[in-house]
């Protein structure tokens, strides 16, 4: 049996965690032979609720789960962790502007980045789920100069899965028939779900659907799916987000083979995206490392959309620059 790994999850008493923690503890994320110690962070007011969640996890008697560490202290939470899923964040309230949210969460992710820098294992893999996820990941990365910037990522896997599911429904196929889906850019309404390279059962997706559907249905549906769920459910997506987080980390740790997935990662300059911006790219993963899929042809239609989401990320980055000074 392997040694247990420490996995930190912030916002442990929130809705996403309520589906995610149980699956991590069951071994679905890191494998059936990998014992786990959960490190759960919460706000002081939510620690009692967190205890209740931990009682339920205990009641599952998961064979792989060795311990649960609960705290409102960043040092306790991040010491020796090899994975950190940063889920907790302040949600947008009535009348709050995007910039207000950026700044409030900017403060949270500056502190969490510093604490990861000081206490986590040097190989810690970080996934930011809390919104605005890309820029929060950027802030955490910049606040952790001693860690490898490549280890800071943000979640666009939910967008990727949404895109797969929409295309499968439209083409009457199974999601497993679909290969080479791509989501570029920000986890926001400017993201660009791109089927230019996608195949469905070996056929080019673009030959199976018309451009009108791509422009007026597919792209806006995926971009607006989070808002549509909030409208229908009265709360933001939680189980689907938790599952996407699990898949993001699982694939990063365990490898994708040839399968493309979308991850928001610090750009290395590929496809002209400015270096360091946390931008969603198509990647494959192997041995715990991701690589951007190279050599894709980008037509004018795609470039305009990739530029728009890049511009939004640059604006977000500039809006928090003083927090990082």
Stretch in the footprint of ligand LMR (CB under 6 A) among 18-26, 225-233, 278-286, 306-314: 225-233
Applying CB under 6 A, which of residues 64, 89, 249, 261 lies at the interface with ligand NAD?
Answer: 89
Active site residue 187: yes
Binding partner at 238 among ligand NAD, ligand LMR, none, C-beta below 5 to 8 Å by kind: ligand NAD
User: Does the annotation list 129 as a binding residue?
Assistant: yes
Q: Which is nearer to ligand LMR, 175 or 227 (CB)?
A: 227
Measured distance between the N- and C-terminal CA atoms of the chain, rounded to whole angstroms: 45
Applying CB under 6 A, which of residues 71, 79, 110, 131 lies at the interface with ligand LMR?
Answer: 131
**Two structure tokens written together for 27:** 């071994």
Residues 183, 184, 187, 188: what is their CA dihedral angle, to the nearest 10 degrees?
-100
User: Does the annotation list 259 as a binding residue?
Assistant: no
Bond into 105 cis (ω within 30): no
Applying CB under 6 A, which of residues 237, 267, 280, 302 lies at the interface with ligand LMR?
Answer: 237
* 166 counts as binding ligand LMR under rule CB under 6 A: no
Q: Which is nearer to ligand NAD, 42 or 312 (CB)?
A: 42
What is the distance between the alpha carbons of residues 257 and 18, in angstroms, rounded to a whole number?
30
How many residues touch ligand NAD under the rule CB under 6 A: the total is 27
Binding partner at 227 among ligand LMR, ligand NAD, none, C-beta below 5 to 8 Å by kind: ligand LMR
What is the distance between the alpha carbons of residues 195 and 162, in angstroms, rounded to a whole number?
13
- Contact at 8 Å (CB) between 178 and 200? yes
Residues 14-53 that bind ligand NAD (CB under 6 A): 14-16, 41-43, 46
* 306 counts as binding ligand NAD under rule CB under 6 A: no
**Two structure tokens written together for 304:** 């305009």
- Contact at 8 Å (CB) between 86 and 136? yes
CA distances to 156, 232, 265, 298 from 278, in Å = 11, 30, 5, 19
* 223 counts as binding ligand LMR under rule CB under 6 A: no
Stretch in the footprint of ligand LMR (CB under 6 A) among 11-19, 169-177, 236-244, 300-308: 236-244
| Chain position carrying tokens 């779900």 | 193
Judging by DSSP bridges, how do beta strands 83-86 and 5-10 pair with one another? parallel
In the DSSP assignment, the letter for residue 215 is: I
Q: Which is nearer to ligand LMR, 235 or 303 (CB)?
A: 235
CA distances to 142, 145, 180, 183, 253 from 138, in Å = 6, 12, 26, 18, 21
Residues that bind ligand NAD (CB under 6 A): 10-11, 13-16, 41-43, 46, 87-91, 108, 129-131, 133, 155, 158, 187, 236-238, 241
Catalytic machinery residues: 187
Residues that bind ligand LMR (CB under 6 A): 131, 158, 226-227, 229, 236-237, 241
């Amino acid at each position: 049996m392997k040694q247990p790994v420490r996995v930190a999850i912030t916002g442990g008493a929130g809705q996403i965690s309520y589906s995610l923690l149980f699956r991590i503890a069951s071994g679905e994320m890191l494998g059936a032979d990998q014992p786990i110690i959960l490190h759960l962070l919460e706000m002081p007011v939510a620690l009692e609720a967190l205890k209740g969640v931990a009682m339920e996890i205990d009641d599952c008697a998961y064979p792989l789960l060795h311990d649960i560490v609960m705290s409102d202290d960043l040092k306790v939470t991040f010491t020796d962790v090899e994975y950190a899923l940063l889920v907790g964040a302040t949600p947008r309230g009535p009348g709050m502007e995007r910039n207000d949210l950026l700044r409030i969460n900017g403060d949270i992710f500056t502190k969490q980045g510093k604490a990861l820098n000081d206490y986590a294992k040097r190989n810690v893999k970080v996934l930011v789920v809390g919104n605005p996820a890309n820029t929060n990941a950027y802030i955490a990365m910049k606040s952790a100069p001693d860690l490898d910037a490549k280890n800071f990522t943000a979640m666009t896997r939910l967008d990727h899965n949404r895109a797969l599911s929409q295309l499968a429904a439209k083409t009457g196929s199974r999601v497993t028939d679909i290969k080479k889906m791509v989501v570029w850019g920000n986890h926001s309404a400017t993201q660009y779900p791109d089927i230019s390279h996608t195949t469905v059962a070996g056929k080019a997706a673009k030959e199976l659907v018309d451009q009108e559907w791509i422009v007026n249905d597919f792209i806006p549906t995926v971009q607006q799916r989070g808002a549509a769920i909030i409208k229908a459910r009265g709360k933001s997506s939680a189980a689907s987000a938790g599952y996407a987080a699990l898949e993001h980390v699982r694939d990063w740790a365990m490898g994708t083979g040839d399968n493309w997935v979308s991850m928001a990662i610090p750009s290395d300059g590929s496809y002209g995206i400015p270096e360091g911006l946390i931008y969603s790219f198509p990647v494959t993963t192997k041995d715990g490392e991701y690589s951007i899929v190279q050599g894709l042809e980008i037509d004018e239609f795609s470039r305009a959309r990739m530029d728009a989401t890049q511009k939004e990320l640059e604006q977000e980055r500039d809006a928090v620059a003083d927090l990082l000074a």
